Amino acid sequence: MTTHAPAHEIPTVEGRREPDYLRVTKGFMSWVTTLDHKRIGLMYLFGVTLAFIVGGIFAMLLRAHLWNPGPDGQMFSPQDYNQLFTLHGAFMVFAFIIPAIPGSIANFALPLLIGAPDVALPKLNLASFYLWLFGTVLLSYSAITNGLDTGWTFYTPWSLKSQTAVLSAGLGVFVIGFSSIFTGLNFLVTMHKMRARGMGWFQMPLFCWAIYASSVLQVLATPVLGITVALLAFEHIYHIGVFDPAEGGDPVLFQHFFWFYSHPAVYIMILPGMGIISEVVSTHSRRPLFGYKLLAFSSIAIAVISFLVWGHHMYTSGQSEFAMQAFSFLTVLVAIPTAIKMWSWVATIWGGSIALTAPMLYAIAFLVIFTIGGLTGVYLAALAIDIHLHDTYFVVAHFHAVMMGSTAIAFFAGVHHWWPKMFGRMYNEKLASIAAIVILTGFMVTFLPQFEMGSQGMPRRYATYSEQWVGYHRASTVGAMILGAGFALMVGYLLHSLIAGRKAKPNEWGGVTLDWKCPTPPNLYNFDDEPIAGKLYDYGPTLKR
């Protein structure tokens, strides 16, 4: 775009050339029928936060249940406990973590970061949100009616026999799967075809590379989940026999199919988080990312390797010894690109001009917890050790370190980083810093005892436990309550900022990527003038320490 209308024709809206996307149209219908990626992103943000709160309440209830070893003096019956942890897992995995960052943060920020006016397929984007909503409603319906006691993994043959709402929950997962495919597909097309003039692949911010890698996984792996859940439903209703040993089927095949999706899915969860951390550490340390290309390629490497490792969930399921050894070897390979990322982030911060803002504090919490989660993953990849640790609290603590402690915290970092861009308002930074520290503390108090009791043999998914672990369990329960308080504080000051927060600066953090070069909040089609990509992460002359 080269020419502009004369100055006297430009409508003045608080010194802007165009009204921002929040005010350009008004009313409920203008939101629920919007095709604007930013509004869809905000609807996703609102939705996944609700799902997170529901899942979080389940988590706090089940931690409260485990205050006493039982069976006497516990809050719930063992059957209700089974439902609680299943619903906690199903909500957190399918309704929160998988859509959280792609649906909300990436939807908002990705087109801005590549200088595009919108995603490539805006209608598909809105469809993806409504599919997510429908799937989540189905999950909630299952929770309210019959509950679900199969674990979030729906393992056969129990899921065929269970009298709980396996079908409606399965349909919910199926539908959310399509939502996830639509999101991933949309981002891939957007990044391929909508980049700003002058933006080659290696001028793309690293958040985009991370979303690219996770989108590839969404497109390639999710259909297999779809067909698996469909077969499970046929099996449940019509007894077709594919997963039921009584009819000649093999439950191990279910596990192969399930983890062919669900292992790549854990990278669908973590990769976007890694992308956020890349942007945050660079912006808030005012240094270009160290090893840009390595970071970009390590995202792709993680995506590819993630398809080769699913069997490490099945070490005790009866798959062949050969397959277990192969999967064990391949799983350890994931540590290489992951470690590259860790080193790059640390090297980026090192010598930078660090601002301990709220997003940066969350990013630092991510770096600490992800190190724990990543390294314990290497232990669990080792076949012999995993036979001992399989299905213990060690595993629970490991995947909470990478899902809750890393992905969810990266999500919070992203929310805090782009919040001023989203709403043009700033939250109370002091409260935000306190919340970040409370959440980090709560995480450690909750999960470090779980690592310890897991290594001592405390099995996961048990409603009762032996006296020897009372102290660990109680510490963990206290930690969960601290986490809950931290989240409540965060939701509180974020909502407060919308009403009474100070007006955000046009470029609150002094960011140099394209998202900070459009008005705050952005226009309906984002930029005043067509953006042209320049040198990436160009903070000018580096400050000497």
What residues contact residue 84 under an 8 Å CB cut-off, 6+ apart? 58, 61, 62, 65, 76
Q: Which residues pair with 20 in a beta bridge?
A: 523
Q: How far is the CB of 323 from another protein (least distance, A)?
A: 4
Judged by CB under 8 A, the residue of 241, 351, 459, 492 near another protein is: 241
Q: Which helix (H) or strand (E) covers residue 503, if one does? A: strand 502-503
| Contact between 240 and another protein per CB under 8 A | yes
For residue 411, with 0-12 CB atoms within 10 Å meaning exposed, 13-18 middle and 19 or more buried, which class applies?
A: buried
**Of the two residues 57 and 219, which places its CB atom closer to another protein in the complex?**
219
CA 535 to CA 292: how far, in whole Å? 13
CA 276 to CA 285: how far, in whole Å? 14
| Contact between 28 and another protein per CB under 8 A | no
As given in the structure block, the two tokens for residue 267 are 């990278």
For residue 39, with 0-12 CB atoms within 10 Å meaning exposed, 13-18 middle and 19 or more buried, which class applies?
A: buried
**Of the two residues 176 and 342, which places its CB atom closer to another protein in the complex?**
176
**Of the two residues 81 and 257, which places its CB atom closer to another protein in the complex?**
257
| Contact between 523 and another protein per CB under 8 A | yes
| Contact between 323 and another protein per CB under 8 A | yes
Task: Select the span of 68-76, 352-360, 365-373, 525-533 touching another protein (CB under 8 A).
Answer: 525-533
Contact 172, 143 (CB under 8 A): no
Contact 267, 221 (CB under 8 A): no
| Contact between 12 and another protein per CB under 8 A | no
| Contact between 529 and another protein per CB under 8 A | yes
| Contact between 108 and another protein per CB under 8 A | no
**Of the two residues 201 and 350, which places its CB atom closer to another protein in the complex?**
201
Angle at 494 between CA 488 and CA 495, to 5 degrees: 90
Q: Which residues pair with 392 in a beta bridge?
A: 459
Show contacts with another protein in window 158-197 (CB under 8 A): 181, 185-186, 188-189, 192-194
| Contact between 245 and another protein per CB under 8 A | yes
Q: How many helices (H) and strands (E) does the chain have?
A: 19, 2
Strands (E), 130-279: none
Q: How far is the CB of 275 from another protein (least distance, A)?
A: 20
Q: How far is CA 120 from the centre of its chain?
A: 23
Judged by CB under 8 A, the residue of 222, 282, 298, 328 near another protein is: 222
**Of the two residues 59 and 324, which places its CB atom closer to another protein in the complex?**
324
First to last CA, the chain: 41
Task: Select the span of 100-108, 241-249, 293-301, 390-398 touching another protein (CB under 8 A).
Answer: 241-249
**Of the two residues 414 and 522, which places its CB atom closer to another protein in the complex?**
522
CA 545 to CA 538: how far, in whole Å? 18
| Contact between 117 and another protein per CB under 8 A | yes
Handedness of CA 377, 378, 384, 385 (dihedral sign): negative
Judged by CB under 8 A, the residue of 129, 327, 394, 516 near another protein is: 327
| Contact between 267 and another protein per CB under 8 A | no
| Contact between 17 and another protein per CB under 8 A | yes
**Total binding residues toward another protein, as defined by CB under 8 A:** 70
As given in the structure block, the two tokens for residue 373 are 């989660």
| Contact between 50 and another protein per CB under 8 A | no
Q: Is 545 helix (H, G, I), strand (E, B) or coil?
A: coil
Task: Select the span of 88-96, 310-318, 433-441, 447-455 touching another protein (CB under 8 A).
Answer: 310-318
Handedness of CA 104, 105, 107, 109 (dihedral sign): positive
| Contact between 10 and another protein per CB under 8 A | yes
**Of the two residues 7 and 500, which places its CB atom closer to another protein in the complex?**
7
Task: Select the span of 275-283, 487-495, 509-517, 524-532 touching another protein (CB under 8 A).
Answer: 524-532
**Of the two residues 250 and 391, which places its CB atom closer to another protein in the complex?**
250
How does DSSP classify residue 505?
Answer: P
| Contact between 535 and another protein per CB under 8 A | no
Contact 107, 74 (CB under 8 A): no
What residues contact residue 136 under an 8 Å CB cut-off, 6+ apart? 47, 51, 94, 95, 172, 176
Residue corresponding to tokens 């009372």: 470
| Contact between 268 and another protein per CB under 8 A | no
As given in the structure block, the two tokens for residue 333 are 């390979």
Q: Which residues pair with 13 in a beta bridge?
A: 16
Q: How far is the CB of 132 from another protein (least distance, A)?
A: 17
Task: Cite the DSSP H helix spans in 390-428.
Answer: 393-402, 409-423
CA 139 to CA 234: how far, in whole Å? 19
Judged by CB under 8 A, the residue of 19, 69, 157, 226 near another protein is: 226
| Contact between 249 and another protein per CB under 8 A | yes
How does DSSP classify residue 391?
Answer: T
| Contact between 492 and another protein per CB under 8 A | no
| Contact between 200 and another protein per CB under 8 A | no
Q: How far is the CB of 466 from another protein (least distance, A)?
A: 31
Judged by CB under 8 A, the residue of 526, 533, 536, 537 near another protein is: 526
| Contact between 19 and another protein per CB under 8 A | no
Q: What is the dihedral of CA 158, 159, 164, 169, to 10 degrees?
A: 160
**Of the two residues 3 and 163, which places its CB atom closer to another protein in the complex?**
3
For another protein, the binding residues (CB under 8 A) are 1-5, 9-10, 17, 116-118, 120-122, 124, 181, 185-186, 188-189, 192-194, 219-224, 226-228, 230-231, 234, 237-242, 245, 247-250, 252-253, 256-257, 260, 307-308, 310-311, 318-323, 326-327, 523, 525-530
